[in-house]
Amino acid sequence: MNQVINILMVDDHPIIIEGYQNTLMATKKDNQTLIIDTANDCDTADLLMRRAAREKPYDVLFFDIRIPPSRDGLLTSGEDLAKLSKQLMPNAKVIILTMFNESYRIHNIIKNINPDGFLIKSDLTSSELAEAFQHIMVSPPYYSSTVNQFLNKLVVNEIQIDEINRKILYLLSQGIKTRSLTEHIDLSMSSIEKRKKQLKELFSIDDGKDETLISEARKKGFI
């Protein structure tokens, strides 16, 4: 029985999309027919998804995270598009392909999107893309090695850290000074200082330095 699979690929580099297309077309099963649409920015992807939702929904959607935002500023990334796709086409399979390999970003993407596939581009080979696609069609999810390593760290780590504390760690790791954290987090400076103190106690930071805190948090997979 022939299986027609409607696909949308979103990436701002046409040559990367061409590589994905060529790989899937060359490795598809004999009974699979792939119909592939492509988009290089949020506006085009938005238009294609809304049209598909009205006419024939996509079966699989591939999203890069960093792509040009929509003109109205409402869609700023592939993450936003993935969330929208789940509203428009809840039965479609969502695959994230990204260069981002920081554990904070990985954690947020899994929490916010719960994708059927999550592939880090630096892990990716043609054979893995082909394997991931076929696996996701039958038995999702499929995560590439960097994502799995992060998830394994998270499972075995006993330290529980909430989203705000995780964001504080991430911002500090990006060079944001403590005095500027209130611009990024909706808390008072005293609340942020209290959380930083708790984090240093959790990670057993004896010297009190932010640099040591960040180093320990990174070792344990929280950044």
What does DSSP assign to residue 2? -
The angle at the Cα of 152, spanning 147 to 156, to the nearest 5 degrees, equals 155
Asked whether residue 158 is assigned to any structural domain, the reply reads: no
The Cβ-side half-sphere exposure at 98, using a 13 Å CA radius, reads 26
pLDDT in tens, 53-110: 999 999 999 999 999 999 998 999 999 999 999 999 999 999 999 987 777 678 888 8
How would you class 185 by CB atoms within 10 Å of its CB: exposed for 0-12, middle for 13-18, buried for 19 or more? middle
Indicate whether 116 and 207 sit together in one domain: no
| Structural domain of 110 | 3-153
Residue 45 lies in a domain: yes
φ, ψ for residue 76, nearest 5 deg: -115, -10
Burial class of residue 1, CB neighbours in 10 A (0-12, 13-18, 19+): exposed
| Tens digit of each residue's pLDDT (9 = 90 or more) over 8-28 | 999 999 999 999 999 999 999
Query: Looking at residue 147, what is its pLDDT?
Result: 87
Rounded to 5 degrees, φ, ψ at 62 are: -105, 130
- pLDDT class for 203, splitting at 50, 70, 90? confident
pLDDT at 121 over 70: yes
The pair of structure tokens assigned to 200 is: 């240093």
- Domain end call among 153, 173, 190: 153
Which residue, among 143, 158, 175, 178, has the nearest Cα to 221 in the 3D structure? 158
Residue % of the chain over a pLDDT of 70: 95
168 and 128: one domain? no
Evaluate whether residue 126 is within a structural domain. yes
Structure confidence at residue 47 (pLDDT): 98
pLDDT digits (tens, 9 = 90+) for 95-120: 999 987 777 678 888 888 999 999 99
Domains: count for the chain: 2
**Same-domain check for residues 14 and 43:** yes
pLDDT (tens digit per residue) in 128-161: 999 999 999 999 999 998 888 877 766 545 456 7
Domain membership of residue 26 (yes or no) is: yes
Cβ atoms 217, 103 nearer than 8 A:
no
Contact 159, 201 (CB under 8 A): no
The domain spanning residue 115 has which CATH number?
Answer: 3.40.50.2300
Q: Where is the domain boundary, 153, 174, 196?
A: 153
Beta bridge partners of 143: 118
In the predicted model, what is the mean pLDDT of the chain?
A: 90
